[in-house]
Structure 1
Amino acid sequence: MFGSKQIHLGFIAFTLFLLCWDASPIMASKFSNEEDPIEFAYTEGDERGPEHWGDLKEEWSTCKDGKLQSPIDLRDAIADKVNSTSDHLKIHYKPTQALMKNEGHAISVVWEGYAGGVTINGTEYLLRQCHWHAPSEHTMNGKTYDVELHMVHKDTSNTRVAVVGFLYKIGKPNPFITQVRKAIRSMIQKPTEVHLGVVDPRKMKKAQKGKQDAAKRKMKRMSSKFYRYMGSFTTPPCTEGVTWTINKQVHTVSRSQVALLQKAVYKYAEMNSRPVQPLNDREVKLHGSSFSK
């Protein structure tokens, strides 16, 4: 997709695993049983569930009134096929200190220093944090996957957001989650944060092994394909104007790793995925180096 000297999205996917050590800071009130511990929930039918998010607070009205909401179903049949160049996505991550946090609704990793980022169509976005959703929020050709990882970036003016997402299915364990499982276990349903030390996203290249020959070549081709569309945050306030990039290659996690991610968050978020939202005639692009096979 980007040429032999460019970093593939698949590499990023692995990077993401590494990055996912932790995410943004959280308020203890989200976890405690005091006063109003839960602002929103994920269970349909719950008075604080996804269908009611837009009614819970005036500033969350975009969750129900917005026309560019995420997630969506990513369908090859309706996506505009684009032969990509390096201008569409460049990766330039750097190692820096990272922190893992239990935010109540998600386990996330936050980079405390300069972690590099991505450049999309000439705009630089700096890596801020990553977090997991289980099951996936985006679907691909109608299929829901077991986990979705979001890498969250902001531009240098801190006004525009770009999220790079990766989908996972049940299979071989993810090496990164294996590496940090003790940290995750230490924060099960607790408003805890753990310092992970220096996390280098580029080292996630070592995350997957054992693929050979034709299978390995196919994985490389898939890693160079990604969807691109304009959407929103998938949690309240559902702010729109987010540039979404979803890797077409599907990676693997073990069943026990999915269970750990779901057990770690609070019960209202054990299935922390927002339902698919209407496309509303939005343009979805499928980038790749070749669509002949």
Structure 2
Amino acid sequence: MSDNFPVQGLRGRLTANAPLGARAWFRTGGPADWLFVPEDTDDLADLLRNRPVDMPLTVLGACSNVIIRDSGIEGVVVRLARGFSDIEVQTDGLVVGAAALDVTVAEHSAAAGLAGLEFLVGIPGSIGGAVRMNAGAYGSDINAVLDWADILTSDGELRRLTCEELGFAYRHSDLPEGAIVIRARLRGTPDAPDAIRERLAEIRASREASQPVRARTGGSTFRNPDGHKAWALIDEAGCRGLTLGGAQVSEKHCNFLLNIGDANSEQLETLGETVRKKVLDRSGIDLHWEIRRIGRRDVGEKTV
């Protein structure tokens, strides 16, 4: 453990000036000042309790729905990994760690003969992020299946919040500021495993046909405004296939940004803002980012 890090006695892996771009689905972004991979919940709680109050903390999961800015992330970045990826099958549901991938949870649910979680196979990310943003697809979302989530508050206190306490709305939850999701319980209903696997296959095929799933992308870029589809507004504004350097609006599904070769994060974010302006000028509708943009905008600027 480095003597330069302000919290001592942590058991997890700590790396200074840690590259992050290779972890992100866009394959862009600068380094973290510090990257911490905690050993377990107690290890993470120690960090939260003892870090300086002015030290920024950012949590990264699968890095699917995120643009990490080119100048990197100030403070400490926490990445939940092996100690937070357990999946426990119960009679009428699953208890899953925050680092468990959505698609893996869907597959475990199918193997256990528990229906209702098939939609997760269409979401590129991990359960912690899915709870935080009430992720959804193919007619369902986390709000429809979650019983409770265990969180660590910003000062390291372990709490259990019910679905009602999380206050889910469209792509939103009322998680306390600075809280980190540790695990969650998701409900399932009995069904034949083969029938569930067939539905998983249908969702995979639909996603493959309509989205650029094999590209360097970050998933859906903008939230759907009330009564509208973001992709349709983007298309109507003439943005399908629009490029900026190595960044492109997908021609296959224009609510997806792509790194088509050598894009950097600034190009991706600027292209997204260009799309927002064109949509606003064309339709009067202000699109809101679904992708998180995190990190310093310029060298020396604080993380936002």
Larger Rg: 2
If asked which structure has higher relative contact order (CA below 8 Å, sep 6+), I would say: 1
**Fold match (TM-score > 0.5):** no
In proportion to residue count, which structure has more strand?
1
In proportion to residue count, which structure has more helix?
2
What is the TM-score with the length of structure 2 in the denominator?
0.23
